[in-house]
Chains A and B, each alone.
Chain A
Amino acid sequence: MQEAVFGQLLDSVPDGVFAVDPEWRITCFNRAAERITGIRRNDALGRRCCDVFRASICESACALRQTLATGQPLLNKVVYIVSAKGERIPISISTAMLKDDRGRIIGGVESFRDLRVVEELGRRAREQDSFSNIIGRSARMRQLFDLVPVVAASDSTVLIQGPSGTGKELVARAIHEHSRRRAKRFVAINCGALPDTLLESELFGYRAGAFTDAKKDKPGRFALAEGGTILLDEIGDVSAAMQVRLLRVLQERVYEPLGSVEPVRANVRVIAATAKDLRQLVRDGLFREDLFYRIHVVRLELPGLRERREDIPLLVDHFIARFNRLQGRDVAGVSEEVLARLMGHDFPGNVRELENAIEHAFVLCRGGLIEERHLPPHLRAEGMGGETRLPPGLTLGAMEHLLIRDALGRHGGNRAAAARELGIDPSTLFRKLRAQKARKPTGGRAGGRG
């Protein structure tokens, strides 16, 4: 009776369990073991365990042999078995000795867990926490994930607003990938990084002879995106003259390449993105109201990372997995102190700043867990908290100016490197430098926004 109960007990366990005698013959084989290996109990009993189990370690480092030799149990060793179909099944095994009433060794027992189930659960969890490479499980991001397919189904112009580094281009790509235009190209252009003349030729292209050196026709980004989607990033930074040209494309769906007299019809979905408050720019007379309403058909707002701190652990895992893959590394994760530090940081550079911090840590971390000493200086304990020794009366704008000047100085004027350190996009740095130049700060007391 007791044996029957013991058998039922073993069969109710979700992990595979088998036992062997001192001759390595299988004496017990539960239902989960049948399911994972694909071998029936009656076929397995009495057979040599290596003929049944077919694990990658049977020959070189049999876990049961080690346990019986040392008397030490083994826990959660990850190996693989090869099924009769030739499939490699990842499993985690644990072993222990079996002794009789008098303490004599009568064999060993091995339990094993099918890691495909664990991996599948992990994959499903990751799927639920992401949408077209946008990571997040916060309520704000879930709302966004629900909205993107709906927006993608229409052909309306979309305005994506959000602070720098929040993933506006990722959302634009997601809209394109879920739209009927996905078979055609997605073209992104940063309007804030180019002077007017260059931006015009980039957007609309030019004809041969339009200007000196224009030897042959060059298609613009609108032509490249024909049938697809164009992202006009940093739309809040385009000049008044350029706004007029963009308005014409959006209103009439035609444009003229430089040097051409023939209008070209554009079948392109336009997505505009900006980190600025366009409505405020309209009020300030810096952005055309008609263009604002043209692009403000559907509006998506991306939250800054400090507004969705609960997504930070998920994003950290995502970036670690990505850098491990890209760099062939084996970094296990971040320590609890590092996670606490990251959770407490305000991330003015948003997700991009977090990504840069993890990339920085990957350079210094040889393996195992990312520790506090691997973080960029501004995220370490000594670089945070406590009393700041800033001069009194320093404005936020002046502070930004100092930070940018220092970063540029450290990198010999290299804007890309300075932007990376500051956790902002190079185009954002370019824009800030341009704004600072326009403001001509004096004595470290420049006004302006932070």
Chain B
Amino acid sequence: MTVAIPIWQDRVSPVFDTASRLLVVHHGRAGELGRREIALGSVPSDGLARTVLDLGVDVLLCAAISEPIRFTLERGGVRVEDNLCGEVESLLRAFNAGTWRDPKFQMPGCGKQRGFPGRRSRCQPFRTEALRRAR
């Protein structure tokens, strides 16, 4: 499995659309097989999804990501886990351990949104529906 995380100052980059570096980690049954860092600086935001797809990424762990890029990635078979924040290594360890949904890795505003009429707890229902229609 290949996991990618946009990084900035050893933390998850706040906005994937404008991220400058992408950490790509390859995992095997025995654990991490290897990793490399890709410079995204010259990739325009509408080419980001293509870059990630070309890298054969299975899971993208990121913070904010705009809907069109997310949509293209999911159509290409990439699982996108967004609205994550924190230190990259901690998040990677938590992801491998299955504890990455811990609140400390969640960006603010992405949990329950009582008091904001019309907002859903997360955007998954919208996205799933959009994806199903597209397929």
Contact = CB atoms under 8 A, between A and B. Distances in A.
B108 A52 contact: yes
Interface string B55-71: 00000000111110010
Contacts of A86: 64-67, 70, 82, 123, 127
Contact of B107 (A55, A57, A84, A88): A84
Contacts of A55: 14-15
A85 B20 contact: no
Contacts of A37: 109
Contact of B109 (A39, A48, A50): A39
Q: Could you tell me the dominant secondary structure of chain A's interface residues?
A: loop
B85 A51 contact: yes
A51 B65 contact: no
Contacts of B14: 50-51, 53-55, 58-59
Q: Could you tell me the dominant secondary structure of chain B's interface residues?
A: loop
Nearest to A35: B116
A59 B18 contact: yes
A448 interface: no
B115 to A, nearest CB: 7
A44 B108 contact: yes
Contacts of A52: 107-109
A59 B15 CA distance: 8
A58 B12 CA distance: 12
A144 B2 CA distance: 63
A54 B113 contact: no
A54 B63 CA distance: 8
Contacts of B126: 85
A40 B18 contact: no
Contacts of B123: 84-86
Given A59-B19, A82-B65, A86-B66, A51 B107 contact: yes
Contact of A59 (B20, B113, B115, B127): B20
11 contacts: A38-B109, A38-B113, A47-B108, A50-B14, A54-B14, A54-B64, A57-B18, A58-B18, A82-B15, A85-B123, A86-B123
Interface of A: 37-40, 43-44, 47-48, 50-60, 81-88
Top 3 nearest A-B pairs (CB, nearest first) are A39-B109, A86-B67, A82-B64
